[in-house]
Amino acid sequence: MTEALLARSQMAYSLGFHIIFAAIGMTMPLLMVLAEWRWQRTGDVNYQLLAKRWAKGTALFFAIGAVSGTTLSFELGLLFPGFMAKAGPIIGMPFSLEGFAFFTEAIFLGMFFYGRARLSQRVHLACGIVVAISGTLSAVFVTFVNAWMNSPTGFRLDGGNLVDINPLGALQAPFAKHEIPHTILASFMATALVVAGIHALGVLRQRNVEFHRKGLMLALVIALPATLLQPVIGHFAGEQVAEHQPLKLAAMEGLQHTQAHAPLALGPIEIPGLLSFMAFGDTAATVQGLDAFPVEDHPPRIVRFAHLTMIGIGTAAAGYAGLTLLLLLRKRRVPTARWWLRATVALAPLGMVAMEAGWIVTEVGRQPWTIYGVLRTRDAITPVTGLMLPFAIFALVYTLLGIVVARMVWSQIKATQEAV
């Protein structure tokens, strides 16, 4: 492996773990608040227990996300100093705002976690709402940075240098319009599907059925709208990619040749003109293929595989969400059919897989650029050699961290299955 590939791999490995921690840490406060609100409205002890269980999960993933996020900040500076030197004046603002949101979340999470017996119910619930809002805002500000890297704005390029920098203008990066809602919805969908799967398993095993039904219902309150909205945002994202990163679109769709009436490939089947229509709203529109760009600028082939994985899981999840919504509207309660419960359990981990695949499309699809059209990755990476050792150490540490977190989560799941 080259030094550049080692630096990128270390960053990718760290980010792959952090995305999961951050997504769960952003969604669990919302579940926690919903359960707390339902308990205060109904007095049902099942909701109170759900709120307490989910508060523990929130605290766990907040702590792990804080550690892994801090590590990423150091890696960004140490492994990609060229990027930080060029982009620092622009990304400093959203990163500072993210830090403010992070500390707000930490303060109010402590108040929610330890203030149940000391605060009034309204104040306690309000603390939880602040945790949920600030956690989401943290994701918003971080995603602003990634959106800017994909569609840089707010500066003028002069001899390779960024001049006349306008940080507020950078916040108007075109990709922010779809990356932010797409990322937040993906986090909500993936995490809520996991929680729904856990409680569906409890119902299947006939353990504390009423408790698990209530947990399952609250998870569906988040999972269903997030899952059904994702295809809409995804379509808009495709239009933005077609306009601003046509090479990424060609790599995602495996389009080899520039052509009008570009087909959309669904496995071995090609639908003429559908890609042109989805990208530009016109079946006769010309879509640039890989042959329109230098071979050395082509993203790795994994982008196509990741895109198909994301689309496949997203389609299956949307079908599940639509069917579940129909069942809910018909029966006015959580479905109890064993086939549906098994489907909920089977779908539980796939949202996380789709989210990881989506980030591969976003990040690897931008290569060979760190700042699209401005800074190539080879120019952003540290000149320091011998990166194999830190890569191996970080890979080992994150693997062990993942195992520890998995064991802690499993113990919480077992406790949840035996609750009440």
Average pLDDT on 28-32 reads 93
Is-contact 288 256, C-beta < 8 A? no
Residue 258's domain comprises 246-298
Q: What is the pLDDT of residues 127-149, one digit of tens each?
A: 999 999 999 999 999 999 999 99
State whether 225 and 266 are in the same domain: no
Q: Which two tokens stand for residue 226?
A: 């997030």
State whether 194 and 260 are in the same domain: no
Enumerate long-range contacts of 81-84, CB under 8 Å, 24 or more apart. 81/380, 81/382, 82/370, 82/375, 82/379, 82/380, 82/381, 82/382, 83/370, 83/371, 83/375, 83/380
Average pLDDT on 210-236 reads 93
Three-state SS for the chain is: CCHHHHHHHHHHHHHHHHHHHHHHHHHHHHHHHHHHHHHHHHCCHHHHHHHHHHHHHHHHHHHHHHHHHHHHHHHHHHHCHHHHHHHHHHHHHHHHHHHHHHHHHHHHHHHHHHCCCCCCHHHHHHHHHHHHHHHHHHHHHHHHHHHHHHCCCCCEEECCEEECCCHHHHCCCCCHHHHHHHHHHHHHHHHHHHHHHHHHHHHHCCCCHHHHHHHHHHHHHHHHHHHHHHHHHHHHHHHHHHHHCHHHHHHHHCCCCCEECCCEEECCEEECCHHHHHHHCCCCCEECCHHHCCHHHCCCCHHHHHHHHHHHHHHHHHHHHHHHHHHHHHHCCCCCCHHHHHHHHHHCCHHHHHHHHHHHHHHHCCCCEEECCCEEHHHHCCCCCCCHHHHHHHHHHHHHHHHHHHHHHHHHHHHHHCCC
State whether 38 and 156 are in the same domain: yes
State whether 227 and 252 are in the same domain: no
State whether 231 and 190 are in the same domain: yes
Q: What is the pLDDT of residues 103-126, one digit of tens each?
A: 999 999 989 988 888 889 899 999
**Residue linked to tokens 């559908």:** 274
Among 91-100, 225-234, 344-353, the range scoring the smallest mean pLDDT is: 91-100
State whether 196 and 148 are in the same domain: yes
Burial of 355 by CB count in 10 Å (0-12 exposed, 13-18 middle, 19+ buried)?
A: buried
- Residue 52's alpha-carbon distances to 195, 349, 417, in angstroms, are 15, 23, 14
pLDDT: is 160 or 333 the higher one?
A: 333
User: How confident is the model at residue 419, as a pLDDT?
Assistant: 54
Q: What is the pLDDT of residues 389-404, one digit of tens each?
A: 888 888 888 888 778 8
Q: Which two tokens stand for residue 22?
A: 């951050």
What average pLDDT does the structure give for the chain?
88
- Last residue of one domain, picked from the residues 262, 279, 298: 298
Q: Which of 292, 400, 310 is nearest to 361 (CA)?
A: 310
User: How confident is the model at residue 368, as a pLDDT?
Assistant: 92
User: How confident is the model at residue 418, as a pLDDT?
Assistant: 60
State whether 294 and 305 are in the same domain: no
State whether 114 and 164 are in the same domain: yes
User: How confident is the model at residue 420, as a pLDDT?
Assistant: 53
State whether 31 and 98 are in the same domain: yes
State whether 258 and 365 are in the same domain: no
Give helix 350-364 / helix 338-347 axis angle, nearest 10°. Answer: 30
Contacts of residue 94, defined as CB under 8 A and 6 or more positions apart, other chains included, come to 141, 142, 144, 145, 148, 171
Average pLDDT on 179-185 reads 94
Give the number of domains in the chain.
Answer: 2
Cα distance between residue 368 and residue 376, in whole Å: 6
State whether 308 and 256 are in the same domain: no
pLDDT over 60 at 417, yes or no: no
pLDDT over 70 at 1, yes or no: no
pLDDT over 80 at 207, yes or no: no
Amino acid in position 74: F
High-pLDDT (> 70) share of the chain, %: 98
Q: Which two tokens stand for residue 243?
A: 């306009």
Is-contact 233 240, C-beta < 8 A? no
Q: For the CA atoms of 297, 303, 304, 310, what is the dihedral angle to 10 degrees?
A: -150
pTM here is 0.90
State whether 136 and 267 are in the same domain: no
